[in-house]
Amino acid sequence: MSASIEDVATLAGVSIATVSRSLRGLPDVAPTTRARVLAAARTLDYVASPFAARLASGRTATIGAIVPFVNRWFFGEVIAGAEGILREADYDLLLYNLDDVAGRERFFARMPVRKRVDGVLVISMLLADEELAALKALNVPLALVGNGAPGAHSVHIDDTAGARVAVDHLIGLGHRRIGLIGGRMDDPMRFTAAGDRHQGYLEALDAAAIPRNPDLEAIGYFTFDGGEEAMKSLLALPERPTAVFVESDEMAYGALRAIRREGLRIPQDIAVIGFDDHVTAELLDLSTVRQPVQEQGAKAARALLDAIADPSAQPRELVLPTELIVRNSTDPSVPPL
Amino acid sequence: MSASIEDVATLAGVSIATVSRSLRGLPDVAPTTRARVLAAARTLDYVASPFAARLASGRTATIGAIVPFVNRWFFGEVIAGAEGILREADYDLLLYNLDDVAGRERFFARMPVRKRVDGVLVISMLLADEELAALKALNVPLALVGNGAPGAHSVHIDDTAGARVAVDHLIGLGHRRIGLIGGRMDDPMRFTAAGDRHQGYLEALDAAAIPRNPDLEAIGYFTFDGGEEAMKSLLALPERPTAVFVESDEMAYGALRAIRREGLRIPQDIAVIGFDDHVTAELLDLSTVRQPVQEQGAKAARALLDAIADPSAQPRELVLPTELIVRNSTDPSVPPL
DNA sequence: CTGAAAGCGCTAACAA
DNA sequence: TTGTTAGCGCTTTCAG
């Protein structure tokens, strides 16, 4: 096996306590002693066994990240953002991918994070009361990305405001008959974006004194196919909308396809704006509302580290700004790709 | 704090050794005793401290996954595949995201996986000799996704064969002037796909007795922009190709854009086929070569678990099949979206 | 400034 | 079948 703290102590001619202190940069070690220890550690290529250190100190130097789907764009970005900050601080990132409702139940039934993390990062999940309670019972700081919860740190955008900006943009272009394509509010994974963005849509209409029209609101799955289906239903209306606000870019891609299949032109016949600024939104020339994704992960990780350093600190809520990105799918004056 | 093994032992009226045995399902425990222990553990909501267990047993029950970019489609899928298998086996997944060349160097300089994993999963990286040596020095099983290495388990596709199928498809459609858009062989992250796919392109031409033509080979970054630039250079040729094989779907998206901007029609003026079957390939109606991605992660994770269970087992190499997906970007007889 | 020694909460012989 | 006990490799008092 590899070198242990004893080996280093022997080689440096000091006690293991001094090795421990030297290596961790604790005060009260003579500079020359420390140098000797560092040299010994280096020649033996020594690293402390994290498990022994964790057992002895009680600190795990690990963050658990709970994510619905690692393999979706948004979540991957958030994790990348968080990982960078954590790695820098020498924290490990333990990944829990829920995958579906069954996986989510399994996670909360078994609570595999117990006794193994100093903090928990929950990505884009609206937690049920019992779930929140279960996580709080871990007695470690909790940070949420995407929405807030009492007693937890949180980093998110203002979905409602973002949606309002998108719809205002359509109104500014002269549209009055504006459709909505959105996700179900009762999504099984309980994402909150759908509800909030729907709300923003309604507020924008109200502010412009455009009457609400439930016929123009098409709800479906928060996916490409869901968007396509929803758009089809709007196109089948006796009087179809001249513009649609779609609650996510992925749904918007489906909407674009439905519109093109119908032989209609974008944006002349129907203008489309999405939400997220997904990687391929630019490629598809889709107007959208950009949200900082990696940054949400990074900020949440930072919040956790701060909370671990100072457990008495109050939970903070951080709201990051969104940005309207105008492309050719809404504005014909923007040159197409 | 939460319950310890002692608490359970006391409540069940047995020794801690018996608790340990009962909870881990070891033999030689009387059924009634085991039942009593399980009941006690349940009422105390007890889980063993993983750190104590790991220190005592020497098994970490965690796998380190080293990935260039969590936030890219391919890698996210691989991780999702691996995570599922590992979670099922009660293994933790420790994520190391390299992010760039500097991150890669930092990783290998510090080797943060030391003393903390029972196995290492390396995703899509061609390891330099020193890197491979460093990982082998960990003395734990090593599994690679995307390419092989002596002494390591590996799961990958046959990139060369896949590329050949793609180019054969173009040849079958009557094309003779077939361009290539590919990544640099000397990619800083050292992905191997570029070289292998390039090779397949050449082999397909040779097999069809179509002379190679270096002018038709455009090399760039393995990204959307790289593909766009490369396509532009092909379009600028005095005699442009009638079809292009692009080594990745993401590059192909860029190529599609360059072609459309030039006012040319796909596939009538130029046929385009990509590689990967990236999520949005269907949306963009792009013909491609599909590779099983999650499955590669799952199979590699399985290989690691097997190797941990039986360290004497020889490293195995698993090659998964690819599949040609014909869409409208190459074949006009396939109805467009 | 440094060392001795007592844990941290388990697992794994070894006895009984 | 069960209990006793010696570690696992550190961190952290507490003396010195």
pLDDT in tens, A324-337: 999 999 999 998 87
CB B204 within 8 A of CB B168: yes
The answer to whether the A62-156+293-320 and A159-291 domains have the same CATH topology is yes
Strand C nucleotides within 7 Å of a protein CB: 1-5, 7-13
Q: How many CA atoms within 13 Å lie on the side-chain side of A157?
A: 25
- Domain boundaries defined on chain B: 5-57, 62-156+293-320, 159-291
Residues of B in contact with A86 (CB under 8 A): none
Mean pLDDT, rounded, for A287-293: 98
User: At A84, is the secondary structure helix, strand, or coil?
Assistant: helix
Residues of B in contact with A224 (CB under 8 A): 283
pLDDT bin (cut points 50, 70, 90) of residue A1 is: low
Residues of A in contact with B274 (CB under 8 A): none
Alpha-carbon distance of B183 to B159, in angstroms, equals: 13
**How does pLDDT run across A244-261, given as a tens digit for each residue?**
999 999 999 999 999 988
Residue whose pair of structure tokens reads 């766009």 in the numeric block: B228
| Six-digit token string for A204 | 């924008």
Chain B residue closest in CA terms to A259: B337
> Which spans in A111-192 are helix H?
129-136, 159-172
- State the CB neighbour count (10 A cutoff) for residue A98: 22
Per-residue confidence (pLDDT) for residue B193, from 0 to 100:
87
Per-residue confidence (pLDDT) for residue A193, from 0 to 100:
87
Partner residues linked to B217 by β-bridges? B180
Q: How many residues does chain A have?
A: 337
Our CA dihedral for A99, A101, A105, A108, rounded to 10 degrees, sits at 60
Scanning A31-50 for CB atoms below 8 A from B yields: 47-50
Residue A223 sits at the chain B interface (C-beta within 8 Å) = no
Q: How long is the CA A12 to C1' D6 vector, in angstroms?
A: 28
Per-residue confidence (pLDDT) for residue A117, from 0 to 100:
96
| Six-digit token string for A68 | 């619905």
Q: What is the pTM of this model?
A: 0.93
pLDDT bin (cut points 50, 70, 90) of residue A186 is: confident
CA distances from B169 to B208, B213, B262 (A): 11, 19, 25
Q: Which of A52, A71, A114 sits opposite B80 (nearest CB)?
A: A71
Per-residue confidence (pLDDT) for residue B1, from 0 to 100:
63
CB B137 within 8 A of CB B302: no
The dihedral of CA A255, A261, A264, A266: what is its sign? positive
Kind of pairing between the strands at B317-320 and B271-273 = unpaired
**What is B168-234 written as a DSSP string?**
HHHHHTT--SEEEEEE-TT-TT--SHHHHHHHHHHHHHHHTTPPP-GGGEEEE-SSHHHHHHHHHHH
List of chain B residues with pLDDT < 70? 1, 190, 337
Our CA dihedral for A130, A133, A135, A140, rounded to 10 degrees, sits at 180
Residue A94, phi then psi, degrees to nearest 5: -100, 125
Residues of A in contact with B257 (CB under 8 A): 283, 337
Is the domain spanning A5-57 CATH 1.10.260.40? The answer is yes
Chain B residue closest in CA terms to A76: B71
Residue B263 sits at the chain A interface (C-beta within 8 Å) = no
Per-residue confidence (pLDDT) for residue B335, from 0 to 100:
86
> What's the CATH architecture for B62-156+293-320?
3-Layer(aba) Sandwich (3.40)
Residue B91 sits at the chain A interface (C-beta within 8 Å) = no
Single-letter amino acid code for the residue at B159: D
- More confidently predicted of A80 and A279: A80
Reply yes or no on whether the pLDDT at A75 is more than 70: yes
Contacts of residue B257, defined as CB under 8 A and 6 or more positions apart, other chains included, come to A283, A337, B228, B231
Residue B208 sits at the chain A interface (C-beta within 8 Å) = no
**How does pLDDT run across A116-161, given as a tens digit for each residue?**
999 999 999 889 999 999 999 999 999 999 988 999 999 999 999 9
Q: Which of B48, B76, B99 sits opposite A70 (nearest CB)?
A: B76
Instruction: Answer whether B47 sits within 8 Å of A79, measured CB to CB.
Output: no
**How does pLDDT run across B302-331, given as a tens digit for each residue?**
999 999 999 888 999 999 999 999 999 999
Q: Which of B99, B257, B337 sits opposite A261 (nearest CB)?
A: B337
C11 nearest neighbour residue (CA to C1'): B56
Is the domain spanning B159-291 CATH 3.40.50.300? The answer is no
Kind of pairing between the strands at A92-97 and A62-67 = parallel
Per-residue confidence (pLDDT) for residue A162, from 0 to 100:
98
- State the CB neighbour count (10 A cutoff) for residue B90: 9
CB B231 within 8 A of CB B259: yes
- State the CB neighbour count (10 A cutoff) for residue A150: 8
Q: How long is the CA A43 to C1' D11 vector, in angstroms?
A: 23
C2 nearest neighbour residue (CA to C1'): A18
Mean of all residue pLDDT scores within chain A: 94
Reply yes or no on whether the pLDDT at A191 is more than 90: no
C12 nearest neighbour residue (CA to C1'): B57
| Six-digit token string for A210 | 């455009």
Instruction: Answer whether B71 sits within 8 Å of A69, measured CB to CB.
Output: no
